[in-house]
């Protein structure tokens, strides 16, 4: 039990989970939120609700902010007496771009404070458990100073670099993966329900093959890192044929073909560029030239 002071700004689902995890680990937690009613479950557990924003910031040397995005963070902090930020460390766990993280870091430094910009890769229910992962970017000294508090929030807390935007880079990379995963799963569920099969059984099937998918992710990362796309177990040529058949199936079944058309077109571009005999990951070669 630490007894150290932390102020948490923002008590949405994630912010409340953060405050709750800190309380569970023995931190002395001050909370602030525009809607003070959201603080009630936390004050019952020992949190101190402070309605004056400047006073809430001044209450602790460590300030954790988790709101919708960086724009809202700035609007909240600008409404306070920013002089109270001086000497404090601001852990920004709201969503943003690398550019916004770097700009926020510069602004915080102008106030005489230090920022650690992080991203949460977990659902609120997982905060404070071994299932949660948080990436943190910023000064190593600040990270080490408050590492115990950060580790109260997640089983894995990774310091990913000194550059403020590094965590946001990784978060956006993960979001790109998840977006494809969510869309792909829903298309698969659509195929199943259209054929009278159970989407929940499909979900179980994906869970059963998830160790294979995890291994494939590690493999693809290494292939791209090393630029080693030859000698694949399955080629872009083979998958392109399969994806065109998926388009055909979607049309025959009378269901949305948005995802398979997109995927088939991307893989076909790789074939047309001469990469057909290479690893699936070689589609990154055509994607690198797709900047608009």
**In which residue ranges of the chain is pLDDT below 70?**
1-2, 290-292
pLDDT at 292: 41
Counting the structural domains of the chain, the total is 2
CATH classification of the domain holding 81: 3.40.50.720
In a domain, 292, yes or no: no
pLDDT at 64: 98
62 touches 5 (CB < 8 A): yes
pLDDT tens digits for range 263-278: 999 999 999 999 999 9
pLDDT at 1: 47
Same domain for 42 and 57, yes or no, is yes
Phi-psi region of 247 (alpha: psi -120 to 50; beta: other; left: phi over 0): alpha
d(CA 154, CA 270): 40
d(CA 83, CA 260): 54
Same domain for 126 and 12, yes or no, is yes
Same domain for 189 and 135, yes or no, is no
Same domain for 124 and 200, yes or no, is no
- Residue 100 buriedness (CB in 10 A; 0-12 / 13-18 / 19+): buried
Last residue of a domain, one of 102, 129, 163: 163
Strand partners, 135: 119, 158
pLDDT tens digits for range 239-263: 999 999 999 999 999 999 999 999 9
Last residue of a domain, one of 122, 146, 163: 163
Same domain for 82 and 211, yes or no, is no
In a domain, 245, yes or no: yes
Torsion of CA 148, 152, 156, 159, to 10 degrees: -40
Domain that holds residue 36: 5-163
CATH classification of the domain holding 277: 1.10.1040.10
Same domain for 141 and 177, yes or no, is no
Last residue of a domain, one of 113, 138, 163: 163
Same domain for 140 and 274, yes or no, is no
């Amino acid at each position: 039990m630490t007894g150290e002071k932390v102020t948490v700004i923002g008590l949405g689902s994630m912010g409340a989970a953060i405050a709750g995890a800190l309380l569970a680990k023995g931190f002395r937690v001050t909370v602030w939120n525009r809607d003070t009613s959201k603080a009630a479950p936390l004050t019952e557990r020992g949190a101190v609700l402070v309605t004056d924003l400047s006073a809430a910031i001044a209450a602790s040397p460590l300030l954790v902010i988790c709101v919708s995005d960086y724009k809202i963070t700035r609007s909240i902090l600008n409404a306070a007496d920013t002089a109270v930020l001086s000497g404090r460390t601001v852990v920004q766990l709201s969503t943003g771009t690398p550019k916004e993280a770097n700009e926020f870091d510069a602004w915080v430094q102008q106030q005489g404070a230090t920022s650690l910009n992080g991203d949460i890769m977990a659902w609120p229910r997982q905060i404070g458990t071994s299932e949660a992962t948080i990436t943190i970017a910023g000064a190593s000294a600040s990270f080490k100073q408050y590492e115990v508090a950060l580790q109260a929030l997640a089983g894995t807390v990774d310091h990913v670099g000194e550059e403020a935007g590094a965590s946001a880079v990784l978060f956006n990379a993960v979001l790109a993966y998840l977006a494809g995963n969510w869309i792909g799963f829903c298309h698969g569920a659509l195929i199943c329900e259209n054929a009278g099969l159970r989407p929940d059984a499909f979900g179980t099937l994906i869970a059963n093959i998830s160790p294979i998918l995890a291994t494939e992710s590690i493999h693809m990362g290494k292939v791209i890192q090393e630029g080693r796309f030859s000698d694949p177990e399955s080629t872009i040529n083979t998958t392109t044929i399969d994806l065109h058949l998926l388009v055909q199936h979607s049309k025959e079944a009378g269901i949305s073909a948005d995802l398979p058309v997109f995927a088939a077109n991307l893989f076909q571009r790789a074939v047309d560029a001469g990469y057909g005999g290479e690893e699936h990951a070689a589609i990154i070669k055509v994607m690198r030239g797709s900047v608009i």
